[in-house]
Chains A and B, each alone.
Chain A
Amino acid sequence: QQQVKQSPQSLIVQKGGISIINCAYENTAFDYFPWYQQFPGKGPALLIAIRPDVSEKKEGRFTISFNKSAKQFSLHIMDSQPGDSATYFCAARGFNKFYFGSGTKLNVKP
């Protein structure tokens, strides 16, 4: 069973545009939802995270929107920059482990 579903698989955005990546989760016991950014050849690095008692969290150009009833959460990258080009993974924590989405490869065109 796929615990976390992520879409789209890839995304191309023009510089200055908004990048939106969506995730849906299965288990209501999940209690923490991070987003990771991964550059080629590197390990995932925490970007921003949210808990289910909050509907939105913003850190700089990055915002997580969380819909508990729909079991969905999304990452919005405002004013996307070429340096944001990377693979983004959503994750959900439960049962002492993290379940990752399948990843979204973001390409921000100059």
Chain B
Amino acid sequence: EPEVTQTPSHQVTQMGQEVILRCVPISNHLYFYWYRQILGQKVEFLVSFYNNEISEKSEIFDDQFSVERPDGSNFTLKIRSTKLEDSAMYFCASSPVTAGGGGEQFFGPGTRLTVL
């Protein structure tokens, strides 16, 4: 069964460093998402991406964040200058059609980001 994969599973970085979290969505999906989950808290939407551009973003997704689909398979989330409060689990998701158009999202296993 196709699944969303994410690498690395755990990333430890120093405050102020740049990190790139990688995701490989399900191959025939067109819509891609990033969510984060601070330990013990709810899942929070960060950004959605379609046709090589951002569709929606939340207030969390500020100028420190960027997303990219550098090739036909990868979808990345970059945090330019990490802060302590960026420590969280980051989930990638993909769907065959838009969330607003009936698309079911499939989540990856997550990357745990720890900022020291």
**Chain B residues with CB below 8 A from A83, complex form:** none
Interface of B is mostly: mixed
Partner-binding segment picked from A56-64, A74-82, A88-96: A88-96
User: Do residues A42 and B104 form an inter-chain contact, with CB atoms below 8 A?
Assistant: no
Contact A101 B100 (CB under 8 A): no
Task: Give A92-106 as 1s and 0s: 1 = Cβ < 8 Å from B's Cβ atoms.
Answer: 011111111111000
Tell whether, in the assembled complex, residue B42 and residue A103 are in contact, meaning their CB atoms are under 8 Å apart. yes
Among B69-77, B80-88, B106-114, the stretch that binds chain A is: B106-114
C-alpha gap A44/B44 in the complex (Å) = 12
Beyond A45-B107, A46-B104, is A100–B99 a contact (Cβ under 8 Å)? no
Query: How many chain B residues touch A (Cβ–Cβ < 8 Å)?
Result: 24
Chain B residue with minimal CB distance to A94?
A: B100
Bound Cα distance from A6 to B41, whole angstroms: 12
Q: Are B56 and A95 in contact (CB under 8 A)?
A: yes
A39 to chain B, nearest CB (A): 10
Q: Is B91 an interface residue (CB 8 A)?
A: yes
CB-CB under 8 A for A96 and B48, given A44-B91, A89-B43: yes
In the complex, which residues 87-102 of chain B have their Cβ closer than 8 Å to any Cβ of chain A? 91, 93, 98-100, 102
Residues of B bordering A, CB below 8 Å = 4, 33, 41-45, 48, 55-56, 58, 91, 93, 98-100, 102, 104-110
